[in-house]
Amino acid sequence: MSQDSLFDKAALSYDEWYESELGQAVDQVERAGIDQAFTPSGSNILEVGCGTGNYTLTLAERGYTVTGLDVSAPMLAIAKDKADKAGYNVHWIEGDVSQVLPELGKYHGILSVTAFEFIPKPAEVLADLFTHLLPGGCLVIGIIAADSPWSELYRQAAAANPESVFAQANFYSEADIRGWKVGANPEISKALFFPPAVAGMKEAFEYEQMQKFAPGFLIAKWVK
């Protein structure tokens, strides 16, 4: 199954995750880490794998000039509808990032959250994206960590359902990321120190503070 058709099937139900208590806890923790890492040198931003626009709208709300790129037309349609209703002017690109690289401009910041698990040859694509940064710009990705309770959950989901979006996912470790030849050595931070089986938000945030479990989310940052 191609990536576009894989995510097309998930488009309508994708945002339901963020409406659940667990989804809200995960989103809050991941966003805190992304906000700390993503410090663009100016206003022109590219988001790779923007999906239904959850980060895209946040960036637009903060006054950035945002380009949202995604392989799935249904995902982009939802993102565009959200942006239009909020009154944000976002430039949208439908396509596989590895195929549209020559069309991309130069950016003060490039962001991608939980997309590179699904992109073949991530090191090569990231190295190409790095060349699209303006001086002082940053490239930041957030990915599900290998060898964590969260990657194990998604592996089990893929095994149980070959049509799951995670059937084509690959999970990477800090060592993997440090081995990718993308600009200088990356800054790497970690988050999501609670497992999927927490009782609720209160327990999730307690575990996060304690860093009780292996981190489920890695954030890597390269600066031009």
Tell me the pLDDT tens digit for each residue of 131-182. Answer: 999 999 999 999 999 999 999 999 999 999 888 888 889 999 999 999 999 9
Collapsing DSSP states into helix, strand and coil, what is residue 108?
strand
Predicted confidence at residue 135, as pLDDT, reads 97
pLDDT at 1: 43
> In 3D, which of 161, 148, 78, 76 has the Cα closest to residue 117?
148
Residues making up the chain, counted from first to last: 224
Q: How does DSSP assign 116-184, residue by residue? A: TTSSSSHHHHHHHHHTTEEEEEEEEEEEEBTTSHHHHHHHHHHHH-TTSGGGG---B-HHHHHTS-SSS
10-residue mean pLDDT series, the chain (224 residues): 57 80 96 98 98 97 98 94 97 96 96 96 97 98 98 94 87 98 94 96 96 96 98
* Interatomic CA distance for residues 71 and 85, integer angstroms: 22
The whole-number pLDDT of residue 9 equals 63
pLDDT of residue 12: 64
> Model-level pTM?
0.94
User: Domains in the chain, ordered, with CATH?
Assistant: 3-223 (3.40.50.150)
